[in-house]
Amino acid sequence: MSAYQTILFDLDGTLTDPKIGITRSVAYALARFSINVTDLDTLIPFIGPPLYETFEGQYGFTPEQARQAVAYYREYFAETGLYENEVFPGIGKLLADLKEDGKRLIVATSKPTIFAKRILEHFGLYHYFELIVGSELDGTRSSKAEVIAYALTALALSKKDAVMIGDRKHDILGAKLNDMPSIGVTFGYGSYEELQAAQPTHIVASVNELATLLK
């Protein structure tokens, strides 16, 4: 049996594939700045990290511009982009099996908590989780380390049998800053090279591999 009794999951790129909704929302926001993007695949770097820092890093936006871009992004995302999303095959069964085995399941995401909850409710996954934690709409608690720390404190969780699962380096580094092991998944949007450089405890390539590791 796995030593991990408390399992923290990232949302985007780990439980669900949000590519269409996120990239269309980013394109909508950029268009408000007269930046027209025709190839949505160029916006994949926005999947996972906090939006503020990606607008700054990818497009050189000032902090004020980045805040405005996030506001524009949410105009589209809150109404439409939220649902342009799908659960990765096998995730529902994985969560059901883990719950049946008595594991404590948590979502720890950089996405605003209110959106994370609506997505999980929409796809019928909400009930598997003891806690769903994300960022605040004002941009606070946006780093993965802060989100994980909040979850650990809120439920008075022990780190010794907990693990963070995610598809980007931010998930792995956030776990490290909280002295926790981590599992990188390559079926999301972070490359094997990105995850390996962050040095997770484990790397898996499929939901089936993840299920085997967590049993």
Whether residue 176 sits in one domain with residue 72:
no
Copy the structure tokens of residue 139: 């941009």
For the chain, strand residue ranges (E) read 6-9, 16-17, 86-87, 104-112, 131-135, 162-166, 182-185, 202-204
Model pLDDT, residue 59: 97
Whether residue 10 sits in one domain with residue 44:
no
Model pLDDT, residue 166: 98
Active site amino acids? 10
Model pLDDT, residue 49: 87
Copy the structure tokens of residue 141: 């608690």
- Please report, as a single letter, which amino acid is at residue 173: L
Question: Which residue stretches of the chain have pLDDT < 70?
Answer: 1
Question: Does residue 28 fall inside a structural domain?
Answer: yes
Model pLDDT, residue 17: 97
What mean pLDDT, rounded, does the chain reach?
Answer: 96
| Among candidate residues 83, 99, 115, the one where a domain is terminated | 83
pTM metric for this prediction:
0.93
Question: Does residue 1 fall inside a structural domain?
Answer: no
* Percent of the chain's residues with pLDDT above 90: 93
Whether residue 180 sits in one domain with residue 91:
yes
User: Mind listing the pLDDT tens digit for each residue in 142-153?
Assistant: 899 999 999 999
Let me know: does 22 contact 81? Beta carbons within 8 Å: yes
- Please report, as a single letter, which amino acid is at residue 97: D
Let me know: does 199 contact 175? Beta carbons within 8 Å: no
| Among candidate residues 83, 116, 138, the one where a domain is terminated | 83
Q: Quick count: other Cβ atoms within 10 Å of Cβ 95?
A: 20
- Give the range of the structural domain holding residue 24, as residue numbers without chain letter: 19-83
Copy the structure tokens of residue 43: 């916006």
